[in-house]
Copies of this chain bind each other. A is one copy, B any other.
Amino acid sequence: MDHWWINGKPGSLIEVTDRGFAYGDGLFETVAVRGGRPRFLAHHLDRLFDGCRRLRIPAPAREPLQTAVTTAVSDLPHGTLKLMVTRGTGPRGYQLPEFPATTVLWGTMASDPVRSVPVEIRWCDTMTSVNPATAGLKTLGRLDQVLARAEWSRTDVAEGLMTTTDGHLIGGTASNVFLVSGDHLQTPSVARAGIAGVMRRVVIDAARSAGIPVAVGDVPPFQVQAASEIFVTNALTGIRPVHRLGSQVWAPGPVTRRLQKALAAAGVTECGG
């Protein structure tokens, strides 16, 4: 059973005039809850508050929010915390409300533990929009990803890779992607499109700590073929090695294994051996 709180009060109904609903004018975070604790909450709040600043949404106070959501999940052994912030209700029209009152809401959902096993992925035809104004942020407008995810229904295909409308590899519908090329790790920049995933940040930090160089930049889609290892990351599933994409197969590789171990040590239990 899911539980929701809106502006600190239990409830799951919002006004249709809330700009989050009307215009996708808001942000969200999907936080893994493990052992009654919100994992990497500081990273999630960093991204959320950075988003508020960039979108000029008056941010809630960080400390009380952190305390409230931590309390909300304390009885949840394993599941997900969804945290959302919108620009609140307002009159019709794109213009910012004169007196904005941010809506803050969160929900908790139980789930079963899963192991991050190697997965099959595919390419999507639907492309990710490019826009520096919102790039990196987890805004409420996710229709590109919804349409990409709707391209397949085979349950043995775990994820679909997307390119941007200007032709770069950007990531999965709900994940970031990493390639191992030679002795270094490569992942698409999220400066012009895509989402700056929390697990992406954890992986980049772990790789650099382990002395593995990480190149962040534009990645042409054809580089996937040349990669010796490939994996996708997501806050809820950690690192998932890719074992198949179309006719290409990969065996679990040493760099992926090493990073999985580093993540398992940092609390990403689904990456444990």
- Which residues of A approach B to under 8 Å, CB–CB? 2, 4, 6, 12-25, 28, 30, 55-56, 80, 82, 84, 87, 92-96, 105, 107, 109, 126-127, 129-134, 139-150, 165-166, 173-174
Contact = CB atoms under 8 A, between A and B. Distances in A.
B96 A92 contact: no
- Copies per assembly: 2
A167 to B, nearest CB: 11
Contact of A94 (B2, B15, B173): B173
Contact of A14 (B21, B25, B165): B21
Contacts of A129: 129-131, 165
A94 B149 contact: yes
A134 to B, nearest CB: 6
Nearest to A125: B133
24 contacts: A12-B17, A13-B16, A14-B16, A16-B84, A16-B105, A23-B145, A24-B24, A24-B142, A24-B143, A25-B142, A55-B147, A82-B92, A92-B109, A94-B145, A94-B149, A129-B129, A129-B165, A130-B130, A133-B143, A134-B144, A139-B143, A140-B143, A141-B142, A166-B166
A23 B150 contact: no
Contact of A140 (B96, B141, B165, B173): B141
A97 to B, nearest CB: 11
Contacts of A130: 129-130, 165
A16 B12 contact: yes
A21 B140 contact: yes
Most buried by B among A129, A134, A142, A150: A129
Nearest to A134: B143
Given A16-B105, A16-B107, A17-B12, A95 B149 contact: yes
B22 A94 contact: no
Nearest to A98: B153
Nearest to A150: B96
Nearest to A105: B16
B82 A140 contact: no
Nearest to A21: B21
A82 B17 CA distance: 11
Nearest to A11: B16
A21 B22 CA distance: 8
A148 B96 CA distance: 10
A96 B149 contact: yes
Given A25-B146, A134-B144, A15 B16 contact: no
Contact of A142 (B12, B16, B94, B146): B94
